[in-house]
DNA sequence: CTGAAAGCGCTTACAG
DNA sequence: CTGAAAGCGCTTACAG
């Protein structure tokens, strides 16, 4: 008891604290209400008298209170308002565009997004996912969307913690997680058929060793026309620095030995490099060879000739992904797994022409 | 009291909870110690008996405890381990490379980074800075590094909350915040002198309306040689979608009226577009006109001819920035403002040649 | 060497 | 309509 008294006296002398944010308590004191009431005002609770509300608003003004601490709020509500976005490499324009779309939508919805790169490496990916868990993210977006092996285990764990997990983009086959995808198999199928309609008969595909849906669509189209496919696979296609050198080495024999007159690249990233290398080889584009890529990155409109490409509806997908996260968090989705497939858009440009056009 | 009893009985039947992370308390219970002890083990406190430590480690294993909640820890320690990175636009390769460098260094140092885009818009920038504040970030990195007007006010506020604020890259003149910069004025000066040494006398500069250090270095070099400068300014250079069209409109008269034989672009982003447009105009590069950019983005090595550029040491700068943040947080810096200037590297490539070379 | 207790800034039944 | 109180998961003097 006496100790209590002493303390109270000491408090009378306390200085105004210039450091740190104003808290809900600062506001409450100034407004002459309890912090619970301030909290209610902040959370738009209807059961606050309007004159009290007014007083609180004034106090917020006076104290320079900005917004409730997300940390503290999160600790109570179990919602941080933080999203984790795991991409291969933000320097790859495909992911940069995706990250931008996610950030834009997230901003509108009041989320903040942590972006991490894993270079497609499982070990790093797992680490980053656990890090997302330690931050108690509300949701995780993984691009590309395939979650297998240890990454799947990690994803399961953070899902068990209450976070929504969404695969974004490329995701072959079944997934135990929600997926917002894009039908690139269909798109590749169409692209290949377009090339066939232009008279091309020897059409090559250059991509990573792992067989992607883009590759499958390409193969399907050729199969349906009774033609055989020509694959050139390159390890670590999205990351390697020496890609151009590798292409210089591989492309000439690939093209000449098979009489190839059109190449579909797995991405614009690689297609742009193919474009460069075939021109170094003295081939004219599209007169001697047509080139198409995927992703429709900004640079693709900048080359001479501009690169034909397949545009992925990033914005649309980002929006769908975040809506799905919100619904999951609100428990508004009953189905165990959402799988929403969007359509890609073909952008035919100068790098594609009919066979032997001149 | 009776109610209490009922409750207690109900609790006896409680199920093991499958949802949510294992906490420090779960571990404590399994290990038969207090949560304080678990906390000490987690924080490498030396004052824990090694056999206790062992028990705790085993309990961590058993419970599947991953790591302490950053939220809860942050609420106590006032350190979130979260960094905010504010860039103009992650789709611009310059910022993508920077963001990657920051993420890599941050990961090594145990930070996580929130990336936000503001398109160089003050209003959005201010919002994002306050959002960083609401997340209680430990540090904020702003690129480009100039913090003025309302953005400066917002930055001051979050600095007052205890966060370290660092400007990254371009930052003309004095700053009240720490800056990790790069001497692009000097670099531009050298680039321009290089062009002069190749015989060029009418050298143009294309950039944003706001005068940057790159532009100043260019102007200085010409002044020192007694030559006059030729500026073409374009609003919103980093963001606008119609940049190519604008250049198509402006470049011909700019080049012809002034007899320009070399152009320095404010960025590779714009220089690549200039490259494209001058070729559309029928000019040969570098025979008729030389082009140089800034930033050395990956695409610059991919064009024909490859674009000469100035490389910014992103990695080095990101590392310096994060070290500075750590030191600020640890109160190990006494000077009121750090200003560390790194050197850029000239990468001369095929897009540059001597005047009238053929 | 270890534990009980206070407190970081919030939210939300529970009383009134 | 409003407040007192408990509690989210941690850390850290303070005792012992």
pLDDT bracket for residue A284 (50, 70, 90) = very high
Residue-level pLDDT at A172: 64
pLDDT bracket for residue A20 (50, 70, 90) = low
Domains held by chain A: number: 3
Residue-level pLDDT at B356: 74
Q: How far apart are CA B180 and CA B178, in angstroms?
A: 7
| Within a domain: A336 | yes
**Nearest to residue A103, comparing CAs of B284, B128, B78?**
B128
Residues A45 and A156 in one domain: no
Residue A193 buriedness (CB in 10 A; 0-12 / 13-18 / 19+): middle
Residues B191 and B277 in one domain: yes
B272: β partners: none
Choosing from A42, A68, A94, the residue where a domain stops is: A68
Task: Read off the DSSP letter of residue B140.
Answer: E
Cβ count within 10 A of residue B163 = 26
CA torsion A213→A214→A215→A220, rounded to 10°?
A: 80
pLDDT bracket for residue A15 (50, 70, 90) = very low
Choosing from B40, B68, B96, the residue where a domain stops is: B68
| Within a domain: B354 | no
Specify which residue's alpha carbon is closest to the C1' of nucleotide D11.
B76
Task: Write out the residue range of the structural domain in which residue B337 sits.
Answer: 81-182+314-343
Q: What is the pLDDT of residues B248-272, one digit of tens each?
A: 999 999 999 999 999 999 999 899 8
State the average pLDDT for chain B. Answer: 88
- Three-state secondary-structure class, residue A276: helix
Q: What is the pLDDT of residues A325-344, one digit of tens each?
A: 999 999 899 889 999 999 99
Residue-level pLDDT at B20: 65
- In CATH, what number is assigned to the domain containing residue A27? 1.10.260.40
| Within a domain: A226 | yes
Q: CB within 7 A of strand D: which residues qualify? A: A 32-37, 40, 46-49, 51-52, 72, 75-76; B 20-21, 23-25, 35-36, 39-40, 42-43, 68-69, 71-73, 75-77
**Nearest to residue A166, comparing CAs of A301, A322, A278?**
A322
Residues A193 and A288 in one domain: yes
B57 in contact with A, Cβ within 8 Å: no
pTM, rounded to two decimals:
0.83
Whether the predicted pLDDT of A68 surpasses 70: yes
Residues B64 and B107 in one domain: no
Whether the predicted pLDDT of A42 surpasses 80: yes
How far does the CA of B226 sit from the C1' of C10, in Å? 65
Interface contacts A/B by beta carbons within 8 Å:
143
State the average pLDDT for chain A. Answer: 88
Residues A95 and A148 in one domain: yes
Q: Does residue B201 have a cis peptide bond before it, meaning omega lies within 30 degrees of 0?
A: no
User: A334 versus B129: which is more confidently predicted?
Assistant: B129
pLDDT bracket for residue B56 (50, 70, 90) = very high
| Within a domain: B249 | yes
| Within a domain: A74 | no
Choosing from B38, B68, B98, the residue where a domain stops is: B68
**Which one of B117, B157, B279 has the shortest CB-CB distance to A304?**
B279
Residues A255 and A268 in one domain: yes
Name every chain A residue with its beta carbon within 8 A of the beta carbon of B272.
299, 302
pLDDT bracket for residue A5 (50, 70, 90) = very low
Nearest C-alpha of chain A: how many angstroms from B220? Answer: 32
Residues B296 and B274 in one domain: yes
Residue-level pLDDT at A245: 83
Q: How far apart are CA A287 and CA B279, in angstroms?
A: 19
Residues A109 and A151 in one domain: yes
Residue B190 buriedness (CB in 10 A; 0-12 / 13-18 / 19+): middle
Nearest C-alpha of chain B: how many angstroms from A330? Answer: 16
Whether the predicted pLDDT of A319 surpasses 50: yes
pLDDT bracket for residue A237 (50, 70, 90) = low
Residues B193 and B292 in one domain: yes
- In CATH, what number is assigned to the domain containing residue A94? 3.40.50.2300
Residues B306 and B331 in one domain: no
pLDDT bracket for residue B172 (50, 70, 90) = low
Residues A256 and A111 in one domain: no
pLDDT bracket for residue A238 (50, 70, 90) = low
Mean pLDDT to the nearest integer, B194-198 = 97
| Within a domain: A353 | no
Rg value, chain B, Cα? 27
Whether the predicted pLDDT of A9 surpasses 70: no
Residues A177 and A213 in one domain: no
Whether the predicted pLDDT of A21 surpasses 90: no
Name every chain B residue with its beta carbon within 8 A of the beta carbon of A116.
103, 107, 112
| Within a domain: A73 | no
| Within a domain: A354 | no
pLDDT bracket for residue B213 (50, 70, 90) = confident
How many residues belong to chain B? 358
User: What's CA B63's distance to the chain center, in Å?
Assistant: 39
């Amino acid at each position: 008891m006496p100790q209590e008294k002493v303390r109270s006296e000491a408090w009378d002398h306390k200085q105004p604290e210039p450091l740190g944010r104003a808290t809900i308590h600062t506001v409450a004191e100034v407004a002459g209400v309890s912090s619970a009431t301030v909290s209610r005002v902040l959370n738009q609770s209807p059961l606050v008298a309007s004159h009290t509300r007014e007083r609180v608003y004034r106090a917020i003004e006076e104290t320079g209170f900005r917004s409730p601490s997300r940390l503290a709020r999160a600790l109570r509500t179990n919602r941080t308002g933080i999203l984790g976005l795991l991409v291969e490499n933000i320097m790859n324009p495909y992911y940069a565009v995706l990250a931008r779309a996610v950030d834009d939508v997230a901003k509108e919805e009041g989320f903040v997004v942590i972006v991490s790169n894993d270079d497609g490496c499982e070990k790093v990916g797992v680490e980053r996912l656990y890090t997302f868990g330690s931050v108690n993210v509300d949701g995780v977006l993984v691009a590309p969307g395939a979650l297998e092996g240890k990454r799947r285990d990690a994803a399961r764990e953070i899902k068990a913690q209450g976070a929504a997990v969404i695969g974004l983009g490329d995701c072959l086959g079944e997934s135990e997680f929600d997926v917002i995808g894009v039908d690139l198999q269909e798109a590749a199928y169409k692209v290949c058929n377009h090339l066939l309609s232009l008279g091309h008969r020897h059409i090559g595909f250059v991509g990573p060793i792992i067989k992607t849906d883009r590759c499958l669509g390409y193969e399907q189209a050729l199969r349906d026309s009774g033609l055989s496919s020509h694959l050139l696979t390159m390890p670590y296609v999205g990351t390697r620095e020496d890609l151009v050198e590798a292409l210089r080495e591989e492309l000439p024999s690939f093209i000449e030995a098979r009489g190839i007159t059109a190449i579909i690249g797995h991405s614009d990233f690689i297609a742009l490099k193919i474009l460069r290398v075939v021109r170094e080889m003295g081939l004219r584009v599209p007169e001697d060879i047509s080139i198409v890529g995927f992703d429709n990155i900004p640079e693709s409109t900048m080359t001479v000739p501009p690169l034909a490409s397949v545009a992925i509806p990033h914005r649309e997908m980002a929006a769908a992904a975040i809506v799905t996260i919100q619904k999951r968090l609100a428990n508004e989705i009953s189905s165990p797994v959402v799988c929403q497939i969007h359509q890609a858009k073909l952008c035919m440009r100068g790098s594609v022409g009919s066979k032997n056009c001149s």
